[in-house]
Amino acid sequence: MAKTGAAQGSERAAHAWISSYPQGVDWYTALEPAPLFDLLDTAVARSAGRPCTTFLGRTLTYGEIGALVDRAASGLQQLGVVKGTKVGLFLPNSPTFIIYYFAILKAGGVVVNYNPLYSLDELTFQVKDSETELMITLDLKVLFDKVERLVETKVLKGAVVASFAALLPAAKAVLFKLLKAKELAKPRSSSVRDRIRLESEVLADPALLEPVAIDPDNDIAVLQYTGGTTGTPKGALLTHANLHINVQQIAAWAPELAYGAERVLAALPFFHVFAMTVVMNLGLRIAAEMVLMPRFVLQDALDLITKHRPSIMPGVPTLFNAILNHPKIGSYDLSCLKFCLSGGAALPVEVKERFEATTGCPLVEGYGLSETSPVATANPLDGTARAGSIGLPLPGTILSLRDLTDPAREVPHGERGEICIAGPQVMRGYWNRPAETAAQFAGPFFRTGDVGVMDDDGFFYIVDRIKDLIICSGYNVYPRRVEEALYEHPAVEEAVVIGIADKYRGEAPKAFVKLRSGQSATKAELMDHLEVKISKLELPADIVFRDTLPKTMIGKLCKKTLKAEEAKVRG
C-alpha cells in the first residue's frame, strides 16, 4: 500500500539518507516479490538473440541458455528433484553454473552453493548440515574426485557431472582433451557410476518441465553458507523474494545501466553471494553479456577487458589493487569501464582514488552480508560517493545503529552503534538454528556485528568490527577453523589466530603457536599439515612460535594482547 504524504514526510525526517538520494532514485520504489527464475525468463522473452555468456571463446545467447535451463530442470525432476530438494553447485564460473542454478529453482529445488576450493572435510560438513542430496559438478579431476568420494561414503546420494570440454569452442575442446587429459576425470568408469549421471543423460530426456508453484515470500531459493559470529558455518535461508527484490533494489539504484547494452566482467566467483547477485542475477535483470572467468588471473582479466570491452566490473578491493599494481597497467585501455562496484571488504581510500585516477572509472563501494542477499547499502553512482563510506541504504532498506550492550536501544545520532538492517532482502533465518536466528535479530533488524556511525547526510561508515572475523580478499576467514586445524597437529599445545593488515588481501590470518614440551615442528611442517585441512584462502600468512601465549585472568587465550602487539610492531 502506498504511503501517505504525511507518512513519507515522517520517514524522511527519521531517515536522513532519503534526502541524500541521487536524482532519479526513489527510496519508495515499488518492490515486487517474484520467483527468482523470472529474471531469466524475462530476459529470454525480451532478448533471446542477445549474448548471455562468453566463456573461454564460446558465446551462448539468452535463448540458448534458457532452452538448456528448461531441459536441465526437466532432467532434474526426472532424477527426483521436487520442491525443497537441496541441490549443490560445486562449480567455477561457467555457463554450467548459470544453467543449473536456474534449473534447480525451476524444478522446485533449493540451491546450495559450494566453494570449489573447499577441502573434503569442509564439503562433508556442509553437505551433511544442509542435507544436500545431489551435487552438480564438472569432470575436472580437481572437482570430481572430491564429489566422487562424497558419493562413495554415502555423504551424497548422487551427482550430475557436466563436460568441461563441451563448454569450449570445438577446436579448443579437441586441444583440451589432447593436451590436458590428465586434468579430466573419467566419471563413466567411476566405482559409483550407478549414482552418477552425466549431463548428456540429464538433458537427453525430452519430457516437458512440470511447472512448480512458488511462493516467493516463503519458499527458499538459496541456502547460502556463512560462518556467522561463532565460526561455525550456518546456512542463511534466502527466499525467492529476498534475492529477486535485492536485484530490483540494485537496478533502481543504478538507472544509468542500460537494458541490453551492458557487458559485465564476471571475475568474482558465483558461489559467493556478492557475485551471485551483483554479477549473475543483476546481469540477467539488465540482459547484459557476462564475460565469465573460471578463476581470477590478473593478466587474463586485463586481456579480457582489452578484447571484450566490459562496461561493468564488480570486484573486491584486492582485485582493484592488483590491477593498479600490474607493472604495465599504463599500457592498457580501460576506458570501456562505466562503473566498478566494490564489496566484500572495506575499500581503502587510497585504492579508490588511485583506481579512479588511473582508469577514469568511478569505483563505488557498497556493503552487505550473506544474510541480506547481500546488498544493503551503496554509494551513489552519480559522482557524489564519499570515500571511506559504505554509502546510503538501498530503496526500502532501513539501517539502525543499536547500543552495543542493548540491541533493543537505538543510539543517539552521532554515536557509534552496531549496524542493524531491516528490509525485504533480509533472510528468513538460519537453517535449523532457531536459537542463533533469534540471537541475530532485534525485532525486524538483523544484527551485523559491525560497528558504524552515520553522518548528518545519512551516509554510513564502518569504524570497528565486533567479530573476530578476518576479511581476506573479500571472503570470510574464521580464526576458529584455522585454530582447530592447528590443534590437530600432535606437536601443537596452544594456537591463536588473528587478522593482520595485508596490502594485497586487506587482511590475512596470522597464527601464534606454542608447541608441546619435548615436541618440535617447523613452520613448513605446520603449513603442510594445514593444506589438507583447510582451504588455501584460510592458510596463515605467517606462523610464529612462542614459548607462552598471553591469557586473560580466567585463563583464556587473549587475542586482544596479540592484536595490540601486532599493531605496535606495524606502527
483 — pLDDT class (breaks 50, 70, 90)? confident
Structure confidence at residue 571 (pLDDT): 65
Other Cβ atoms less than 10 A from the Cβ of 103: the count is 30
CATH level 2 (architecture), domain 14-32+240-465: 3-Layer(aba) Sandwich (3.40)
Record the cell numbers describing residue 405, joined without a space.
550492550
pLDDT of 183 strictly over 90:
yes
How far apart CA 442 and CA 420 sit, in angstroms, is: 8
* H/E element, 570: helix 559-570
Q: Residue range 350-360: average pLDDT?
A: 90
Tens of pLDDT, residue by residue over 268-285, are: 999 999 999 999 999 999
Question: What whole-number percentage of the chain has pLDDT above 70?
Answer: 95
Q: Which of 546, 535, 537, 548 is nearest to 507 (CA)?
A: 537
Tens of pLDDT, residue by residue over 98-143, are: 999 999 999 999 999 999 989 999 999 999 999 999 999 999 999 9
Tens of pLDDT, residue by residue over 337-351, are: 999 999 987 787 878
Record the cell numbers describing residue 392, joined without a space.
546510503
Q: What angle do CA 527, 532, 535 make, to 5 degrees?
A: 85
Other Cβ atoms less than 10 A from the Cβ of 189: the count is 7
Position 263, amino acid: R
Structure confidence at residue 403 (pLDDT): 95
470-570 has the same fold as 60-213: no
SS (H, E, C) 329-375: HHHCCCCCCCEEEECCCCCCHHHHHHHHHHHCCCEEEEEECHHHCCE
Structure confidence at residue 27 (pLDDT): 98
Structure confidence at residue 228 (pLDDT): 44
Alpha helices in 180-276 (DSSP H): 199-204, 240-253, 273-275
229 — pLDDT class (breaks 50, 70, 90)? very low
Tens of pLDDT, residue by residue over 10-51, are: 566 579 999 999 999 999 999 999 999 999 999 999 999 999
By the 8 A CB rule, do 127 and 150 touch? yes
pLDDT of 505 strictly over 90:
no
Other Cβ atoms less than 10 A from the Cβ of 501: the count is 11
Which contacts qualify for 63-66: CB closer than 8 Å, 24 or more apart?
65/40, 65/95, 65/98, 65/99, 66/40, 66/41
Fold annotation for 60-213: Rossmann fold (3.40.50)
Q: Which of 137, 33, 4 is nearest to 423 (CA)?
A: 33
Structure confidence at residue 328 (pLDDT): 93
Q: Domain spans of the chain?
A: 14-32+240-465, 60-213, 470-570
How far apart CA 97 and CA 60 sit, in angstroms, is: 13
The rounded mean pLDDT for the chain is: 92
CA 194 to chain centre: 33
Q: Are strands 417-422 and 363-368 parallel, antiparallel or unpaired?
A: unpaired
Structure confidence at residue 475 (pLDDT): 83
pLDDT of 223 strictly over 60:
yes
Q: Residue range 305-312: average pLDDT?
A: 97
By the 8 A CB rule, do 36 and 43 touch? no
* H/E element, 518: none
Record the cell numbers describing residue 542, joined without a space.
605467517
Position 31, amino acid: L
pLDDT of 3 strictly over 60:
no
Structure confidence at residue 484 (pLDDT): 80
Fold annotation for 470-570: GMP Synthetase; Chain A, domain 3 (3.30.300)
Structure confidence at residue 464 (pLDDT): 67
